[in-house]
Amino acid sequence: MKSEPSWKPTANAASPLPVVYLKECHAVLKRDKIHIRPMLSGDLAAVVDLERRIFPYPWNKQDFMSEISIPDGFSCIAENSRIIMGYLCARQMADGMEILKIASHPAYRKKGVATLLMGKTYQKAGESQWPVLFLEVACKNTEALSFYRSQGFIPSGIRKGYYPDGTDAMNMMKHL
């Protein structure tokens, strides 16, 4: 039989002490502290460093520079206290918008960074009247496939041997 605690909180009781984390990445980040802004040339060193840590076939600085220079492109970063937590690059296609890159820093995965980046992309696509979003993802990247499905993307085809190691890519799309 459970016994009741010997103390009872009162209406005037002080609020609990705040939780303190040794590293910010150990906390679930509050989304209002993550800022999404356009990717700038000054961000590229950090973006390329993150890109190299995440992807087996990374883009280089010139690849990103080309994307941020395209008039109908959309490249943004997610940051918190000037720490780049993730980024996204997309561009207009004939009938919609193609997401070329999306990445979250490994320390900030599953904390809403990619979801916020995608939300900003949906907003941009809507404002620009791009009714469909497209992307390609490695068929063996189950974590990314799960994320895209959770965002409402559906498979639309397979590109055999798309990646340099021969891995197939799944084409996915989402109607806004």
CA–CA gap between residue 151 and residue 25 (Å, rounded): 23
CATH number at residue 53: 3.40.630.30
Task: Give residue 82's pLDDT.
Answer: 85
Q: Is residue 38 part of a domain?
A: yes
pLDDT given for residue 31 in this prediction: 53
In-domain check, residue 91: yes
Query: Which residue do the tokens 């890519």 mark?
Result: 169
**Mean pLDDT for all residues in the chain:** 86
What pTM did the predictor assign? 0.80
Give me the residues of the chain with pLDDT under 70, please: 1-32
Q: Residue 60's domain spans which residues?
A: 28-175
Identify the pLDDT of residue 95.
84
- On whether residue 12 sits in a domain, the answer given is no
Residue 113 domain-assigned (yes or no): yes
Total number of domains in the chain: 1
Helix axes 61-69, 44-54, angle to 10 degrees: 120
Structural domain includes residue 9: no
13 in any annotated domain: no
Inter-residue contact 87 to 102 (CB < 8 Å): yes
Residue 102 covered by a domain: yes
Q: How far is CA 165 from CA 53, 143, 162, in A?
A: 18, 19, 8
The answer to whether residue 20 is domain-embedded is no
- Measuring CA to CA, which residue among 50, 74, 70, 71 is closest to residue 61? 50
Q: What pLDDT digit, counting tens, does each position of 36-61 carry?
A: 999 999 999 999 999 999 999 999 99
